[in-house]
A and B are shown apart, each in its own frame.
Chain A
Amino acid sequence: MSTSASIGRPVSGQTATQKILARASGLARVEPGDVVHPQPELVIIHDGYVETAYQQLKAIGYRHIRNPERVVFVTDHEVAYTTQRAVERGRKNRQVAKEWGIGQLYDVGRGGHGHLFPMETGLVRPGMFLFAYDMHCTNFGAIGALAMGAGTEITAVLATGTLWTIVPHTVCVTLEGALPPGSHPRDVGFLLAHGFAERTWKVDHDYRVVEFAGAGLKTLDLAARVALGNSVTELGVANVLFAAPPPGLDFAAARDFVSDENAAYEAQITIDLAKVTPQVALPGGPERAAAVESVAGRRIDHAYLGSCGSGMYEDFVAAANIIRGHRVADGVRLFVVPGTTETARRLANDGITQVYIDAGAVVLPPGCGPCAGGIMGPLAPGEVSISTAATNHDGRFGPVGGEAFLGSPLTVAASAVAGQVTDPRGMAGASRRGVH
């Protein structure tokens, strides 16, 4: 199963990751394990870290950053300023943007989720290499871009224009078949994360690029790919990529950055999509996958559709197909958080927002929603939540002591209507993909 890559085997082809990192590093070729210093085309930092990065660099004595024109500030963590501190942070972020002379500031009400809107607007493009503060930038793999999450080391990128990076190995995951009605790419992601964590395939995932391939890709649109890749990110994978563009999108400009047929993958896994059933992730992390039947009937207090993993237009359409004509169960609060301003506009325009409002859901402004530490729509100790959040460790939605389950948009919608964790396969609308 495992083929060790590739030092000493220069005849092998290259993975997309090798090609993108080689180009960004100004090298003809790089191999897994090499230390490189790639130059990013963009550097993306969210509103929750700008001030900290500024203070850290200022404390060392920095006044100017490198390549400020490539730096983008996005506002998705705290978009409605629910505290005075948030107002002050927003003001500081604007001040830092001006002082550093950064390229683009997406302020409150502009753009929306920084892991989503750059794909809608063309800011992030196929073949691009970028650094971002937040680990969920792996989303950009859905559109063929390689974004490395630098975490707190983003300050080094700001100061020096680059960051030392080890070229990661790639694990190829071949998807066969198509998902059955009621199943969703998030379910695939939870199962894959579980398999990695439990070493089902005896494949290392730590700092590996997970590259999806196979005929099953043809059935997965951009939103589906975001959902799939996002669900394995928290495990500590280096990145997520896809071997072919999503339906309707053209990677022609990035053809050079698709893996060669004889690329040296470290390992290969095959998943039959037809066998995937709805899952939940038990509290603690996306890798804690369990069949939805195993917790069906568990009463819920809190539900939430959105986040960087499930915040695209198609996610809300799919969930609305289940919710349409129903009311959110008494005693359940359902928050709906369109990922981006463009998604919010389309949902309003197409009558989808009305479906949620009619059902008694609360529609929040574009951004992270409760997943950013419960700044909006928090979960209280002793309560139970099911959501499409990026992760579900204790305290993710505010105070510790709640129980947060994850599910697909279909499972969350079915559960919100029923007032308990519910298998979406029993709900009308679970198999419809269109708007009506």
Chain B
Amino acid sequence: MSALVRRGFCHVFGDNIPLDEGVMAFKFAIQRVNDPKELIPHLFEAIDPEFVRRVKPGDFVVAGRDFACGKTHVQGFIAMTALKMAVLCESISYKPLRRAAGEGLPVLAGCRGATEFAHTGDEIEVDFDTGAARNLTRGTRTEFPAMPPILRDLAVNGGMRGALANWLREHPEQAEAPVASQA
């Protein structure tokens, strides 16, 4: 099992960032847009129009309380996953936490003081298996709660889609017939 350690630059947001009109415009949810190429240009657009110009693959979102609140639409998670991003937040509800892992996005919750530990532009390294975090820019370190193993495994294995692909490899009797027998 590979370790889940991520290193990247931070984008810090406050409390109560909603999924709809916060992480991603609601219109992409009702249009069921799931293509990350279409979604990425609109990530955090409503609260930080410059975000998309700043963000680089592997960056972190650092947020306060109740990150990704509101209706649990996944389009924002799809875009962040495609950018290989990760999230630290003080708190997040159960459903979006679960849904993020299902999309393959690592989210470390319960990170009290995260928005003081890291400022926008800081480079950090986080071990999701232990919760150990280092701020490479400021030379500080802290311990957050570790990521629950079930969520960690999902995130590492490509979310639910990855898990179901693995299941199918282990249960080939459920697979499509090798030659389609269309009548």
Contacts of A65 in B (CB 8 A): 174
Q: Which B residue's beta carbon lies closest to that of A393?
A: B71
Complex: A65 Cα to B71 Cα, angstroms: 29
Which of B26, B74, B168 has the most chain A CB atoms inside 10 A of its CB? Answer: B168
On chain B, the number of residues with a Cβ less than 8 Å from chain A's Cβ atoms is 25
Whether B167 contacts A207 by the Cβ 8 Å rule is no
- Closest beta carbon of chain B to A243's beta carbon, Å: 24
Q: Does B146 contact A (CB under 8 A)?
A: no
Q: Does B164 contact A (CB under 8 A)?
A: yes
B:141-183 near A, CB below 8 Å: 148, 150, 160-161, 163-165, 167-168, 173-177
0/1 string, A26-51, CB within 8 A of B gives 1? 00000000010000000000000000
Whether B150 contacts A63 by the Cβ 8 Å rule is no
Whether A156 contacts B93 by the Cβ 8 Å rule is no
Whether A64 contacts B160 by the Cβ 8 Å rule is no
- Closest beta carbon of chain B to A164's beta carbon, Å: 6
Q: Which B residue's beta carbon lies closest to that of A63?
A: B176
Q: How many A-B residue pairs have CB under 8 A?
A: 62
Q: Does A395 contact B (CB under 8 A)?
A: yes
- Closest beta carbon of chain A to B35's beta carbon, Å: 14
Contacts of B165 in A (CB 8 A): 60-61
Contact among B93, B95, B99, B174 for A159, CB-based, below 8 A: B174
Q: A152-B102, A153-B102, A160-B167 are in contact. Are A395 and B30 (CB under 8 A)?
A: yes
- Closest beta carbon of chain A to B172's beta carbon, Å: 9
Complex: A60 Cα to B94 Cα, angstroms: 27
B:111-168 near A, CB below 8 Å: 148, 150, 160-161, 163-165, 167-168
A:158-203 near B, CB below 8 Å: 159-160, 164, 166
Q: A66-B174, A152-B74, A152-B102 are in contact. Are A60 and B93 (CB under 8 A)?
A: no
Whether B150 contacts A35 by the Cβ 8 Å rule is yes
- Closest beta carbon of chain A to B163's beta carbon, Å: 7
Q: Does A206 contact B (CB under 8 A)?
A: yes
Whether B94 contacts A207 by the Cβ 8 Å rule is yes
Q: Which A residue's beta carbon lies closest to that of B91?
A: A206
- Closest beta carbon of chain B to A235's beta carbon, Å: 10
Q: A206-B93, A236-B94 are in contact. Are A159 and B177 (CB under 8 A)?
A: no
Whether A61 contacts B175 by the Cβ 8 Å rule is yes
- Closest beta carbon of chain B to A257's beta carbon, Å: 23
Complex: A166 Cα to B98 Cα, angstroms: 10
Contacts of A207 in B (CB 8 A): 93-95
Whether B176 contacts A236 by the Cβ 8 Å rule is no
Whether A61 contacts B94 by the Cβ 8 Å rule is no
Whether A64 contacts B74 by the Cβ 8 Å rule is no
Contact among A35, A57, A206 for B164, CB-based, below 8 A: A57
Q: Does A58 contact B (CB under 8 A)?
A: yes
Whether A206 contacts B94 by the Cβ 8 Å rule is yes
- Closest beta carbon of chain A to B145's beta carbon, Å: 13
Contacts of B72 in A (CB 8 A): 151
0/1 string, A250-281, CB within 8 A of B gives 1? 00000000000000000000000000000000
Contacts of A66 in B (CB 8 A): 174
Complex: A153 Cα to B98 Cα, angstroms: 10
B:70-99 near A, CB below 8 Å: 71-72, 74, 93-95, 98-99
7 A-B pairs with C-beta separation under 8 A: A58-B176, A63-B175, A155-B164, A156-B163, A159-B167, A166-B150, A206-B94
Chain A residues proximal to chain B, CB less than 8 Å:
35, 56-58, 60-66, 151-153, 155-156, 159-160, 164, 166, 206-207, 236, 238, 393, 395
**Minimum-distance CB pairs A-B, first 3:** A207-B94, A63-B176, A64-B174
